């Protein structure tokens, strides 16, 4: 039966898209002031945040002396100097307060003997401006994200936030540069719904699923970034992807860095701790890009384990079964299910896995989406906000430190939620909807459902993800990326001929996957063009042909605009080097 293009309209003060940590924290804040609705592709507690294992970073100083300046120093350094320092300062200053707030909301943190929140060590986190390792990650065993989502979801319900679960966003609706809502597809029953809102916040998560080996959930397909790009907003720093060192071999699932924080270490086929040579000071707890490259070098050098010499080993058994079962029970289970090893006795086979998207929708530290204005100054897009992995604030710059993402979700979720509510309250009338509101989204669904195109989405998806990994992964080369650019153009042509085989409307996951493939192609274009143009190595972006950081030419953020033919056009903007306050880090220490 052909689908109806009738659109049901809902009016709401504030609309949050995405119900992971960032979306729920924003909805809780906005919901305290205005009528707030959340739409989410999956039930909120199934968002990718649920799998966060290692914890949330905050300089509580429960184990040793710590402060937000130390945290800021590590984050700026970890970002390979591409992070915006006003946003980084804001995040590190707010960190202790968002963690204490979660504790008061009932998040069941693990405890130290004296009852205070347990904190563990994590890569790149130090005290005294890089002098000593510090315990900064606040954790609820190895299920911090799980605990966070449940705590926040309950609070949102208590606050009266309305949830539209299993609604898939299709289009961001704008009228002459002003945001006025979003169009969504009801995945359960079928049908179009237009959420007419005064302010909209995107918290749709990252895009690391564009790579074949990934730690990310199926929903991490960059939907929000792509839909913002389709509305004319650039994607910022999309080429910066983080490859996490320890994905389970063959599956990609994450083994948290917390394992190395608790004393685990990596070895090659001759049982050598190669990280002692790659990073003599930080060793296995060096920044993720350093460890991933160290591992990739071992594999390239033929020092991998197994018949194919294509993985390395993560040893944890020496810390003792009791400690593993107390601090890392989820890891024990993951290793058992996905690698078939009992990590209290044997090492876990691991490879680097695509893990985190540093790039996203450009925002300032208030969670407001910003674009370059006609005079070159940054301008706020009225009514539009973004937070979490979908956004680029940019606190992680070229490389994110572990535990700083959950923190980013809480800090910018709270701030964005507060600002979007203030904006909705300040504007009495709803913005006028354009005549063609929602038509692009309706046309896309109709093309896929009613169309007769002969291409199938599965092969395109598989080939594209494999090519991204081969040509734009841990190591990048000009000739590979030129090839990738051409392949992506072909995939786009094939995608225009895709129609889905399942023609039904209820729970049509074939349709959802086809829509996601379209979004992934947009994001891949931004990643590929940005990576090809950036002739330097910085953080997660490593060019074999330009192995050094080049501050003179490349100390700037990339902006990728989507062109009508689906390709991306690049522009750049400066990194914000001015912290919010002058007294942050002593000038002598600020020499970076
Ligand atoms: C395995 C793993 C472990 C991690 N561990 C840690 C850790 O210990 N500490 C840390 O700081 N970080 C960690 N990270 C990173 C961190 O968990 C993520 O960056 C973060 O959870 C992302 O949260 P989010 O709220 O931005 O989005 P997500 O939690 O990914 O949620 C995205 C939301 O958007 C919705 N959505 C997406 N597309 C659509 C659409 N088209 N229509 C409607 N809704 C849509 C989804 O339904 C979902 O609700 C980890 C990441 C992974 C993958």
The single residue of 230, 260, 288, 293 carrying the catalytic annotation is: 288
Domain containing 99 equals 52-144
Domain boundary residue, one of 144, 163, 197: 144
Domain boundary residue, one of 144, 173, 193: 144
pTM: 0.94
Mean pLDDT on 407-429:
98
**405 is known to lie in a ligand binding site:** yes
The β-bridge relationship of strands 556-562 and 235-236 is antiparallel
Output phi, psi for 424, to 5 deg.
-65, -40
Question: Does residue 585 form part of some domain?
Answer: no
Question: Does residue 379 form part of some domain?
Answer: no
347 and 445 assigned to the same domain: no
Q: Which band of pLDDT confidence, cut at 50, 70 and 90, is reported for residue 258?
A: confident
Place of tokens 């979003």: 182
Pocket test of ligand 1: the residue of 50, 138, 205 to mutate, having most ligand atoms within 8 Å of its CB, is 205
**588 is known to lie in a ligand binding site:** no
Characterize 310-343 residue by residue with b for buried, 16 or more Cβ atoms within 10 angstroms of its Cβ, and e for exposed.
ebbbbbbbebeeeebeebbebbbebbeebbebeb
Please give the number of the atom of ligand 1 that sits closest to the Cα of 408.
11
pLDDT for 591 equals 36
Ligand 1 in reach of 242 Cβ (< 6 A): no
Ligand 1 in reach of 35 Cβ (< 6 A): no
Measured distance CA(410)–CA(438) in Å, rounded: 31
In this predicted model, what pLDDT tens digit does every residue of 514-523 receive, in sequence order?
999 999 999 9
Question: Does residue 538 form part of some domain?
Answer: yes
547 and 447 assigned to the same domain: yes
Question: Does residue 240 form part of some domain?
Answer: no
DSSP state of 296: H
Question: 288 an active-site residue?
Answer: yes
Question: Does residue 496 form part of some domain?
Answer: yes
Tally of domains within the chain? 3
Ligand 1 in reach of 147 Cβ (< 6 A): no
Contact 482, 472 (CB under 8 A): no
In this predicted model, what pLDDT tens digit does every residue of 529-555 receive, in sequence order?
999 999 999 999 999 999 999 999 999
Question: Does residue 14 form part of some domain?
Answer: no
Phi-psi region of 124 (alpha: psi -120 to 50; beta: other; left: phi over 0): left
Question: Does residue 9 form part of some domain?
Answer: no
CATH code at position 448: 1.20.58.100
Q: Which band of pLDDT confidence, cut at 50, 70 and 90, is reported for residue 311?
A: very high
**How many angstroms does the Cα of residue 203 sit away from the middle of ligand 1?**
8
HSE, side-chain direction, 13 A CA sphere, residue 494 = 18
Please give the number of the atom of ligand 1 that sits closest to the Cα of 216.
53
Query: Tokens in use for 582?
Result: 């002058």
Ligand 1 in reach of 227 Cβ (< 6 A): no
pLDDT for 250 equals 87
345 and 444 assigned to the same domain: no
Instruction: Indicate the range of 31-40, 161-170, 317-326 predicted with least confidence.
Output: 317-326
Measured distance CA(456)–CA(142) in Å, rounded: 39
CATH code at position 264: 3.90.700.10
Ligand 1 in reach of 22 Cβ (< 6 A): yes
**How many angstroms does the Cα of residue 47 sit away from the middle of ligand 1?**
6
447 and 550 assigned to the same domain: yes
Ligand 1 in reach of 20 Cβ (< 6 A): yes
In this predicted model, what pLDDT tens digit does every residue of 104-160 receive, in sequence order?
999 999 999 999 999 999 888 999 999 999 999 999 998 999 999 999 999 999 999
pLDDT tops 60 at residue 587: no
Question: Does residue 504 form part of some domain?
Answer: yes
């Amino acid at each position: 039966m052909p689908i109806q293009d009738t659109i049901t309209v809902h009016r709401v003060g504030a609309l949050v898209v995405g119900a992971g940590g960032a979306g729920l924290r924003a909805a809780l804040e906005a919901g305290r002031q205005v009528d707030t609705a959340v739409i989410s592709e999956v039930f909120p507690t199934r968002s990718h945040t649920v799998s966060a294992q290692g914890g949330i970073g905050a300089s509580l100083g429960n184990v040793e002396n710590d402060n937000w300046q130390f945290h800021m120093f590590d984050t700026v350094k970890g970002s390979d100097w591409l992070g915006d320092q006003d946003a980084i300062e804001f995040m590190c200053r707010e960190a202790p307060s968002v963690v204490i707030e979660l504790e008061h909301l009932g998040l069941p943190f693990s405890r130290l003997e004296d009852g205070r929140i347990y904190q563990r060590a994590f890569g790149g986190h130090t005290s005294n401006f890089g002098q000593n390792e510090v315990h900064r990650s606040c954790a609820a065993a190895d299920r911090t994200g799980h605990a966070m989502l449940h705590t926040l979801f309950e609070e949102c319900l208590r606050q009266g936030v309305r949830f539209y679960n299993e609604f898939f966003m299709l289009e961001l609706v704008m009228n002459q540069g002003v945001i006025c809502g979003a169009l969504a597809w009801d995945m359960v029953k079928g049908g179009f719904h237009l959420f007419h809102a005064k302010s909209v916040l995107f918290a749709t998560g990252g895009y690391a699923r564009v790579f074949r080996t990934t730690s990310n959930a199926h929903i991490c397909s960059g939907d929000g970034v792509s839909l913002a790009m389709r509305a004319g907003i650039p994607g910022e720093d999309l080429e910066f992807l983080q490859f996490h060192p320890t994905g389970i071999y063959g599956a990609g699932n994450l083994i948290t860095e917390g394992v190395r924080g608790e004393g685990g270490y990596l070895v090659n086929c001759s049982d050598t701790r190669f990280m002692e040579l790659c990073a003599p000071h930080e060793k296995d707890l060096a920044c993720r890009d350093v460890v991933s490259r160290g591992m990739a070098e071992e594999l390239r050098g033929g020092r991998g384990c197994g018949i194919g010499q294509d993985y390395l080993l993560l040893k944890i058994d020496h810390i003792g079964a009791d400690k593993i079962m107390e601090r890392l029970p989820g890891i024990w289970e993951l290793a058992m299910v996905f690698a078939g090893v009992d990590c209290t006795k044997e090492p876990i086979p691991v490879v680097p896995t695509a893990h985190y998207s540093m790039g996203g929708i450009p925002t300032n530290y208030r969670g407001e989406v910003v674009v370059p204005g006609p005079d070159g100054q940054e301008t706020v897009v009225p009514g539009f906000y973004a937070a979490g992995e979908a956004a680029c604030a940019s606190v992680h710059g070229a490389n994110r430190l572990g535990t700083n993402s959950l923190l980013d979700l809480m800090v910018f979720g709270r701030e964005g939620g507060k600002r979007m509510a203030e904006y909705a309250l300040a504007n009495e009338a709803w913005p006028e909807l354009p005549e063609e509101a929602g038509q692009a989204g309706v046309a896309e669904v109709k093309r896929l459902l009613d169309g007769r195109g002969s291409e199938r989405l599965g092969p395109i998806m598989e080939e594209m993800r494999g090519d991204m990994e081969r040509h734009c992964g841990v190591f990048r080369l000009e000739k590979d990326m030129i090839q990738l650019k051409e392949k992506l153009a072909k995939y786009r042509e094939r995608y225009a001929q895709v129609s889905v085989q399942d023609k039904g409307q209820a729970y049509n996951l074939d349709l959802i996957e086809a829509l996601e493939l379209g979004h992934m192609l947009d994001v891949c274009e931004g990643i590929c063009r940005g990576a090809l143009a950036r002739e330097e190595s910085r953080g997660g972006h490593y060019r074999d042909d330009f192995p050094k950081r080049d501050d003179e030419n490349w100390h700037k953020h990339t902006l990728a605009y989507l062109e009508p033919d689906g390709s991306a056009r690049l522009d750049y903007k400066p990194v914000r080097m001015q912290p919010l306050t002058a007294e942050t880090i002593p000038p002598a220490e600020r020499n970076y």
